[in-house]
Amino acid sequence: MSKLFSVISMYFLCIVFLVGCSEYDSAMKKGKAALKAEDYQEAISQFNIAIIERPQDKDAEILLEKSEENHNKQLASKGISDYIDKINSPVNNFGKVLESNLSIENFTDQELENQLASLDSIVREVNEVTPVLNNNPILKDVHAILVQSVSEYNDGATTLKNILPEVKEYIKNKQSDGKLRAIPNIGVIVSIDINFTNARNDFNSYINRLSEIQQGNNNNSN
- The stretch 78-93 carries a mean pLDDT of 90
The band of 27, judged by pLDDT with boundaries at 50, 70 and 90, is confident
Interhelix angle 109-129/58-99, nearest 10 degrees? 170
> Distance (Å, rounded) from C-alpha 126 to C-alpha 83?
11
DSSP symbol at 16 = H
Residue 17 has a pLDDT of 45
SS3 assignment, position 180? coil
Residue 186 has a pLDDT of 78
Average pLDDT score over the chain = 81
Residue 95 has a pLDDT of 94
Residue 206 has a pLDDT of 96
Helix (DSSP H) and strand (DSSP E) numbers for the chain: 6, 0
Q: Which of 123-132, 160-169, 199-208 has the highest mean pLDDT?
A: 199-208
3-state SS, one letter per residue, for 149-204 = HHHHHHHHHHHHHHHHHHHHHHHHHHHHHCCCCCCCCHHHHHHHHHHHHHHHHHHH
Higher pLDDT, 25 or 219: 25
Residue 174 has a pLDDT of 59
At 99, the amino acid letter reads E
Higher pLDDT, 105 or 7: 105
DSSP symbol at 54 = S
Residue 139 has a pLDDT of 87
Q: How far apart are the first and last CA of the chain?
A: 67
pLDDT tens, position by position, 51-84: 888 888 899 899 989 988 887 777 777 888 888 8
Supply angle C-alpha 187, 189, 191, rounded to 5: 70
